[in-house]
Chains A and B, each alone.
Chain A
Amino acid sequence: MRGRVLSLTLLALVVSIRLAAAHHSFSAVYDSKRSVTVTGVVTQFRFVNPHALLSLEVTDKDGKVVTWVVEFAGRLNLSEVGWTADSIRSGEKLTVTGNPTHEPLPRLSFQRIVKADGSELRPAAAQRNDALEEERRERAKRRTQQP
Chain B
Amino acid sequence: MNRLLALSILLALPSAGAAQAPLQTLEGMWSNPPTTIIGSACAFYCTDVLIDRLNALVDDPANDRTPLGQLRADASARERAFIESRLTAAAKETYPLDPADDPGLLRCEPWGLARQMFAPHQIEIRGRGRDEIELHYGEWDARRIVHMDGRPRPAGPASLLGYSVGRWEGATLVVETSGVAANLTGWRSKHSEQVRVTERFTRAADGKTLNLVATFADPWSLRAPLVLKKIWAWSPTSQIAPYDACEPPASVKRGVAP
Given contacts A13-B69, A28-B256, A49-B245, A135 and B122 within 8 Å (CB-CB)? no
Are A103 and B69 closer than 8 Å at their CB atoms?
no
Are B105 and A29 closer than 8 Å at their CB atoms?
yes
Give the size category of A's interface with B: 35 or more
Which of B73, B138, B247, B257 has the most chain A CB within a 10 Å cutoff?
B138
What separation, in Å, do the CA atoms of A4 and B140 have in the docked complex?
Answer: 35
What separation, in Å, do the CA atoms of A46 and B244 have in the docked complex?
Answer: 12
Residues of A within 8 A of B243 (CB): 49-50, 74
Any B CB within 8 A of the CB of A61:
no
Are A132 and B40 closer than 8 Å at their CB atoms?
yes
Indicate which residue in A15, A51, A77, A101 contacts B69 across the interface (CB closer than 8 Å): A15
Residues of A within 8 A of B242 (CB): 48-49
Q: Quick one: CB contact mask for A1-44 with B, threshold 8 Å, 1 for yes?
A: 00000000111111101100111111111000000000000000
Indicate which residue in A12, A24, A76 contacts B138 across the interface (CB closer than 8 Å): A76
Residues of A within 8 A of B69 (CB): 9-15
What separation, in Å, do the CA atoms of A76 and B246 have in the docked complex?
Answer: 13
Are B251 and A131 closer than 8 Å at their CB atoms?
no
Are A77 and B120 closer than 8 Å at their CB atoms?
yes
What separation, in Å, do the CA atoms of A80 and B233 have in the docked complex?
Answer: 12
Any A CB within 8 A of the CB of B14:
no
What separation, in Å, do the CA atoms of A131 and B40 have in the docked complex?
Answer: 11
Indicate which residue in A10, A80, A103 contacts B238 across the interface (CB closer than 8 Å): A80
| Minimal beta-carbon separation of A43 from chain B (angstroms) | 17
Give the size category of B's interface with A: 35 or more
Any B CB within 8 A of the CB of A116:
no
Any B CB within 8 A of the CB of A112:
no
Which of B44, B70, B253 has the most chain A CB within a 10 Å cutoff?
B253
Are A22 and B99 closer than 8 Å at their CB atoms?
no
Which of B61, B100, B247, B249 has the most chain A CB within a 10 Å cutoff?
B249
| Minimal beta-carbon separation of B250 from chain A (angstroms) | 6
| Minimal beta-carbon separation of B57 from chain A (angstroms) | 11
Are B258 and A27 closer than 8 Å at their CB atoms?
yes
B212-258 interface (Cβ within 8 A of A):
238-247, 249-254, 256-258
What separation, in Å, do the CA atoms of A10 and B251 have in the docked complex?
Answer: 26
What separation, in Å, do the CA atoms of A135 and B58 have in the docked complex?
Answer: 10
15 contacts between A and B (CB under 8 A): A10-B70, A24-B99, A24-B249, A25-B102, A27-B257, A50-B243, A76-B120, A76-B240, A77-B121, A80-B238, A103-B251, A105-B251, A128-B35, A132-B35, A136-B68
Interface set of A (CB-CB < 8 Å, partner B): 9-15, 17-18, 21-29, 46, 48-51, 53, 74-77, 79-80, 101-103, 105, 107, 128-129, 131-133, 135-136, 139-140, 143
Interface set of B (CB-CB < 8 Å, partner A): 31-32, 35-37, 40, 43-44, 58-59, 61, 64, 67-70, 72-73, 98-100, 102, 104-105, 119-122, 138-141, 238-247, 249-254, 256-258
Q: What are the nearest 3 A-B pairs in CB distance?
A: A25-B99, A14-B69, A24-B105
9 new A-B pairs (CB below 8 Å) besides A27-B99, A28-B102?
Answer: A17-B258, A28-B99, A28-B100, A74-B121, A77-B120, A102-B251, A103-B251, A131-B35, A143-B61
